[in-house]
Amino acid sequence: MRFTYVLAGWEGSAHDASILAKILSRPDGLQIPKGKFYIGDAGYACRPGILPQFRKTRYHLNEVSVKHRPQNAKELFKVLRATIERVFVALKNRFKVRNQKPFHTIDTQVKLALACCILHNCILGWGEDEFFE
């Protein structure tokens, strides 16, 4: 439930695949350990270490139960996607500044996004959390 890599500051119109290609090619970019995978949105291409969602499959947070064990690959992916969505919901609930219309400069907005992710990880490191079971 922690952020492992955050790259803030891209324009909203930037395509997911372009951003992914850039962060994988940077010397300080995302490093995917061998045998591990990251879950991607539909905008990501299937590549080593990245699992994009199944085509023509909808993923809704309220359809996933933490008590239900996945029976196949699609159900497992659905549970993993729901976990990712829960992290972003918790981040928005914890730091309301992320929900408001931005009135800061872009540099300050980038710093706020990074600070919120760092603080989120620190809070989780201290133990109990009101946003997760």
C-alpha span between 31 and 48 (Å, rounded): 11
When pLDDT is cut at 50, 70 and 90, the band that residue 118 belongs to is very high
pLDDT of residue 65: 62
> CB neighbours of 67 closer than 8 A, spacing ≥ 6?
none
38-74 pLDDT, tens per residue?
Answer: 887 767 777 788 887 776 666 555 666 666 677 777 7
Taking the domains of the chain in order of start, what are their residue ranges? 16-125
Q: What is the mean pLDDT of residues 7-29?
A: 85
C-alpha span between 24 and 14 (Å, rounded): 16
pLDDT of residue 98: 62
When pLDDT is cut at 50, 70 and 90, the band that residue 4 belongs to is confident
C-alpha span between 130 and 93 (Å, rounded): 10
Q: Is the pLDDT of residue 88 over 90?
A: no
Q: Is the pLDDT of residue 96 over 70?
A: yes
pLDDT of residue 51: 82
C-alpha span between 127 and 120 (Å, rounded): 12
Best CA proximity match to 78, nearest among 117, 116, 39, 112: 39
Q: Is the pLDDT of residue 81 over 70?
A: yes
Question: How confident is the prediction for the chain on average, in pLDDT?
Answer: 79
Q: Check: pTM over 0.75? Answer yes or no.
A: no
pLDDT of residue 117: 92
